[in-house]
Structure 1
């Protein structure tokens, strides 16, 4: 654009269109749009081939805002009457990127009725979108449609299906399809092997995943960092930390392990099995290798330290996270607040709670329960009731155990009116009252010796 604006050079329209298509091929969408505007300035609307190049480039970089703007320009310029299968395919993909898979599917059916057959990439986008929605009936329909119009699904298409099944808890079905494809002559690539290894590891079938690992290598397909991470995560999940560490060492030796992600996986695995000291060593190793600690690294270690009761270490990590200018998440605070409540340091828990809220972070529902219980156990029953009110105002449902604890401490403190309010809330939420708490309440209320108390007890008995 600078060249055109400042040199006086005035290429013909066909040259401008070729320039636009070249820029789109290398992903320079802003520059392409700049030349496109030059084309419109001289009154040339451009060929459908050029419009498709720009639309396709926008889709590839997920700039659906530009797709819809360009489509509106197409309508206004009259180009829309010349749309072909590629144009429609780009629009369908844009719908899928925006999470409007059903709208994309409607356009897809309309295109087929009009004799337009979108390409494989469009089918893959639709299949991926319906997999995310767990609508496998629609996925099956699309696969049959592909075969019917002689656009046979390739290994990438089936990879989307298997990935969707594994993510939806249908890993065995994904594995069946994977083996069936091999039997039908399909040759899985590294991406599909990695998808299947990851799916098997999620089902804790690490032995089967390892077999695929060796099968892949024997076929001359070398694992990459994604494959290594999938298997390492699998070993960590089943508690085989020695294999996980050995694989991570091998990965680093081959030049794949120098990423924050790979270290986060190992740190998470070690923390899961309470090996926090070793996890912290890896944390230090990251610094030595010049790898950045992200919020996930800190959160994982904070949670690991809290599990072992090392509150001071967890708190120091939170301070370090903030000092480094990283944006904390709810998970940066949650383990600390909950552990502090368990250990009786409710004031420090409240301080962290306030810090978290100052970051506009929403506490988890269960963290409200921890704080209410912690306040009650330390004798701050009134504050516990206030916290319950805030919880209810936020339309959050407290756990049964939390409300029972409140009734217990309120009853011990002779706060019968509040006890009855909480009991009423329990009944409204569908909870019943624990026998031990009920007996304590009966004993306390009977001392009052009033017909009102008798009526209350009768009502509680009936509803419990």
Structure 2
């Protein structure tokens, strides 16, 4: 401590600001016993504390006070009495600083000795005080026992030199908060906010900053910029409350990296966490169902010595129930009751629902009895609530027994009880029992609108619209008025099932009956109109929300935008997106990406870039860096641009590499027209030279991105433009050219472009290397991909996470598999601090299981879980990988081990096991697993239905497959490309070619659109059945759809036509293949 005081006194004489910073940095550390100060030290300290604001003084005072307390506690009780000293003792540093702080913060009333100066703008300036005599003992005690708040420094925005004193009791900060909030919230460009804040002539304090942040929680990225700008102001330190607000904002945005970074900053600053900090962190992890992190934070809170109150227990309890962790939730419940904490009624209800889903009926009843005893709830209410839990979890047998028990006990059975029971049977698909209950009620006491609504909803979910309409008519005849929710569900189902006219009639009937549609009903009608290409009617209905005083919700905007993009109306969707943003409703990333993709497909690249720019600015993490530190264009793109060779969403990912628009769509379309109209480059060049097109790097990049079919001409254009005087290609354009050459398997030209890029002194980044590695891997040239990876590291480039991902994915592929190398690269990736995503880990574990390296798979998974990877996802992928490798018994054992680790068998685990059993022909065991799923309250997924369809098609039981397909639609499961592909294969195996074509045409008309795998499968089936001419037609359809056929596709059709004696058509196949190769490759 003596050395610390000497250092402070030395710094005061040379650098006053550094002395203040030193006091701030060290004031909250555990201090040793304070010493006495020499006269020289006291002179320097007096200079420090009489010339600055009170905050550093309070911090050092707090440190010395803590030292005093520590010293007092260490003394023995037997030594309480003290002997009188023989001479006077020097004043303690603590006592002297107390005088200085008291005089600084509480100026004397004597106006002769204290003069308060008024600044030019009317604010209070620093008072000048005289220090005489010893301070009031009560004042010193009061000051010394109060814990300082970091960040008490008050400063004027835009002026780092002046530090005027602000008294919150004398000044209302609301006008300042309002003014700053307007500046922050109205921000449009990256530098404008900071510039305006610098120019603002207002006093800022920690209280003002905290209130501004609270008012900006809906614009988190702007709040973060303001938070960081304030943090960089001299002599300012954020308070715990300000950090709490920012942690809350980051948690709401699910930006957990930022949230953890803010917590680390708190630990580095003299800014201790309080109960609210811990509570916010636990709450946000819990809401995101990151139970492992929430539990670790809870344990860390207990170890920190912070008191864990009932609010924290309730947050953890809710998180565990929502994440379906009944065992952990029961442990928390027992701990709460053992601590005599009052458990609220809603927590009892959540726990009962969670236990019912797990199938523990005895535990549900036990918790219900506790609820009756502790929460003072009547027996009738408790039994009704238990019934509700059983019905929610589809435990209909337990619900039926409990209902009989309720009637035997003569407990209250009202309309709500019947509603719960009928809904439960409808949810479980047992419509006959639901109808019987309603019939019995109709004969006795009558049926209300809610019960009719439950029945109609149940039939609609089963897909039985005719019965639902009959019930609706019966409802009208009995004098019951249908509810708005009943009308909404009927209208929605009719629109989806080609009942457009009937849906319109019901909507008119609803209005005639005086029933005012809510926002859900309006959203359903809007979606129906768009699905039937009635765009103008959809807009009219949507506008009625504003006319009727309703405000469209985020869900309403999202549904409308999705439907517009589905029917290829992206410009209408863009208009709606702009309206959504202007209404201060933040769209999710998925909405942005859908609009960007749709605009790109129709060639509106300029508008797509603008949407991408808005999407970036709305993300919380995009503006974490200091605005003053503007990175160069290529540095920004290196981190944002992801290689899209492996991803199916190519257009969306490619858009990430575009920053600004310096060309028109008309120019882009004209270039495409020219390069697709001529086969020889000399003709293309002649037309281009005579045109008035103004080529920019962005235009060239856009041409390359959208010219996969005509890649040869696009690359020749790239080379021709690069030789023009005054023109220079950008690094991004070279990256796109390298990618285009690699996708055409023109690796010679790809390497030529890389060398040319290096000679041009352009910035070669890890992203450039990643593109080349991905192209080699895509072609199965994994050794060349490995060589490029080694060369990349040898040249000093640090691989990105995407570099590791693509290399490992292709090393684990069927073509060019190198399992040992994949393991080494995976371990290197983990050591470098990169975590795999779900897609990559799935492929990696499958490779290890198929290569019989189960020990390595388990070791890798355990290592990942220790580093924070979700155990539930990880072990589900392990089960899936074992099933894919045909190791069913080990998969079943792994599924059992999951439960021991606190994970659950979810629908994905069951889906993997069922699929594996069916692939081995073990139908009965697979059906047993499906029944087990039902008993556990887990509904069948599209995956399981599709697996059953694949099995029955393989066994040539097409009727059974169609029954499963119908049941799948009745259960509300959406068929995927895989489902329809399985049906096409099944019909082809049965010789039902016409039915196969009908399914295929239905896919092209209504979606999901056939992909490369579907085309390839259908082509192979047609060739096998002697219909190779139809397969040739599919090749041309693929090319028209923008899908490039593979060499295998051409070979199958060529051999099929030769077998059928159609040699002239076979030559046509070869000509098409060669023409496509000439259009794509430049190195021929």
Normalised to the residue count of structure 1, the TM-score between the two structures is 0.60
What is the aligned partner in structure 2 of residue 459 from structure 1? 773
CA distance in 2, matches of 1:364, 1:129: 29
Partner of 2:575: 351
Mapped contact 1:271–1:279 kept (Cα < 8 A): yes
Change (3 A) 1:282 1:164: same
1:214 maps to what in 2?
439
Q: Which residue of 2 aligns with 1:223?
A: 447
* Superposed CA offset, 1:199-249 (max 9, x none): 22223332332233334446x353222211111111122222222122222
What secondary structure, in the 3-state scheme, does the structure 2 residue paired with 1:449 have? helix
Distance change in 2, residues 1:297/1:183 (3 Å): closer
- Which one of the candidate residues 399, 424, 449 is aligned to 2:752? 449
What is the CA distance between 1:417 and its match in structure 2? 5.5
Question: Does the 8 Å contact 1:236/1:266 carry over to 2?
Answer: yes
Q: CA deviation at 1:177?
A: 1.6
Q: Does 1:269 align with 2:493?
A: yes
Deviations 1:4-28 (A, max 9, x none): xxxxxxxxxxxxxxxxxxxxxxxxx
Structure 2 partner of 1:127: 348
Match of 2:705 in 1: 411
Q: Name 1:402's counterpart in structure 2.
A: 649
Q: Structure 1 residues 283-292 or 206-215, which shifts more?
A: 206-215
Q: Aligned partners of 2:567, 2:534: CA distance in 1, in Å?
A: 11
- CA deviation vs aligned residue, 1:120-160 (integer Å, no higher than 9, x gap): xx9864432434666877745423546899x9984432332
Aligned equivalent of 1:303: 527
1:283-362 correspondence runs (5 A): 283-362=507-586
Gap change, CA 1:325 and 1:123, over 3 Å in 2: closer
Q: 1:205: which partner in 2?
A: 430
Match of 1:292, SS state, is: coil
For 1:418 and 1:190, the matched residues in 2 are separated by 67
Structure 2 residue 478 is the aligned partner of structure 1 residue 254: yes
How far residue 300 of structure 1 moved from its aligned partner, in angstroms, is: 0.8
Residues 77-116 of structure 1 aligned to structure 2 (within 5 Å): none
Indicate the structure (1 or 2) with the bigger Cα radius of gyration.
Answer: 2
**RMSD of aligned C-alpha atoms?**
4.5
Match of 1:53 in 2: none
Q: Are the counterparts in 2 of residues 127 and 160 from structure 1 also a CA contact under 8 Å?
A: no
Distance 1:318 1:403, change over 3 A: same
Q: Secondary structure at the match of 2:529?
A: helix
3-state SS in 1 of match to 2:649: helix
Identify the range of structure 1 (124-133 vs 300-309) with the bigger mean alpha-carbon deviation: 124-133
Question: Aligned partners of 1:449, 1:421: CA distance in 2, in Å?
Answer: 12
Q: Is the 8 A contact 2:372 2:382 kept in 1?
A: no
More moved, 370-379 vs 263-272: 263-272
* Conserved? CA contact 1:267–1:279, under 8 Å: yes
Q: Which residue of 2 aligns with 1:244?
A: 468
| CA deviation after TM superposition for structure 1 residue 260, in Å | 2.7
CA contact (8 A) 1:303 1:314 kept: yes
Could you tell me how far apart the structure 2 residues matched to 1:386 and 1:241 are?
Answer: 44
Q: Is 1:156 matched up with 2:381? A: yes
Paired residues of 2:391 and 2:424 also in contact (CA < 8 A): yes
Q: How does 1:28-177 map to 2 (within 5 A)?
A: 125-131=346-352, 139-145=364-370, 154-167=379-392, 170-171=393-394, 173=395, 175-177=396-398
1: CA distance, partners of 2:769 / 2:402: 71
* Structure 2 SS opposite 1:223: coil
8 Å CA contact 1:268, 1:301 repeated in 2: yes
Change over 3 Å in CA distance of 1:227–1:307 after alignment to 2? same
Structure 2 SS opposite 1:256 = coil
Does the 8 Å contact 2:527/2:563 carry over to 1?
A: no
1:105/1:126 contact within 8 Å kept: no
- Equivalent position of 2:1000 in the other structure: none
Distance 1:135 1:264 in 2: 30
Q: How far apart in 2 are the matches of 1:233 and 1:439?
A: 53
Alignment partner, residue 400 of structure 2: 179
Runs of 5+ unmatched residues, structure 2: 1-309, 322-328, 622-639, 656-701, 708-713, 719-729, 758-767, 778-784, 786-806, 811-1084
Q: Say if 2:576 is the partner of 1:282.
A: no
Residues 68-107 of structure 1, C-alpha deviations (whole Å, 9 max, x = no match): xxxxxxxxxxxxxxxxxxxxxxx99xx89xx899999877
Cα distance change on mapping 1:342 and 1:279 into 2, 3 Å? closer
- With over 3 angstroms needed to count, the CA separation of the structure-2 counterparts of 1:395 and 1:385, relative to structure 1, is farther
Whether contact under 8 Å (2:570, 2:598) holds in the other structure is: yes
In the aligned structure 1, how far is the partner of 2:355 from the partner of 2:616?
Answer: 33
| Deviation at residue 314 of structure 1 after TM alignment | 1.1
Change (3 A) 1:295 1:444: farther
The answer to whether the Cα contact below 8 Å between 2:390 and 2:398 also exists between their aligned partners in 1 is no
Tell me which residue corresponds to 1:47.
none
- Shift in CA distance, 130/197, structure 1 to aligned 2, threshold 3 Å: same
**In the alignment, is the contact (CA less than 8 A) between 1:198 and 1:230 conserved in 2?**
yes
Give the whole-Å Cα distance in 2 for the aligned partners of 1:262 and 1:345: 30
Structure 1 position 375, deviation (Å): 1.8
Q: Deviations over 1:153-204 (max 9, x none)?
A: 844323323323444xx21x2x122222245435654322221211222233
Change (3 A) 1:161 1:109: farther
How much does 1:341 deviate?
A: 3.2
Q: Hey, what's the Cα distance between the residues in 2 that align with 1:177 and 1:205? A: 14
In structure 2, do the counterparts of structure 1 residues 438 and 300 end up closer, same or farther at CA, with 3 Å as the change threshold? farther
**CA deviations over 1:280-331 (Å, ceiling 9, x no partner):** 2122112222221221221110011122222222122112332333211223
Q: How many residues align?
A: 345
TM-score computed with the length of structure 2 as normaliser:
0.28
Residue pair 1:266, 1:279 contacting (<8 A) in 2 also: yes
Taking a change above 3 Å as real, the CA distance of residues 345 and 268 of structure 1, as seen in their structure-2 partners, is: closer
Post-superposition offset of 1:354: 0.5
Residue ranges of structure 1 left out of the alignment (5+ in a row): 1-90, 113-117, 423-432
**Aligned match of 1:367 in 585, 591, 597?**
591
Distance 1:322 1:183, change over 3 A: closer
Are 2:554 and 2:585, in contact at CA under 8 Å, matched by a contact in 1?
A: yes
Partner of 2:752: helix, strand, or coil?
coil
- Partners of 1:369 and 1:402 within 8 A in 2: no
Supply the distance in 2 between the matched residues of 1:131 and 1:271 (Cα, whole angstroms): 38
The 3 A distance-change label for structure 1 pair 147 and 305 is closer
Q: Give the SS at the match of 1:450.
A: helix
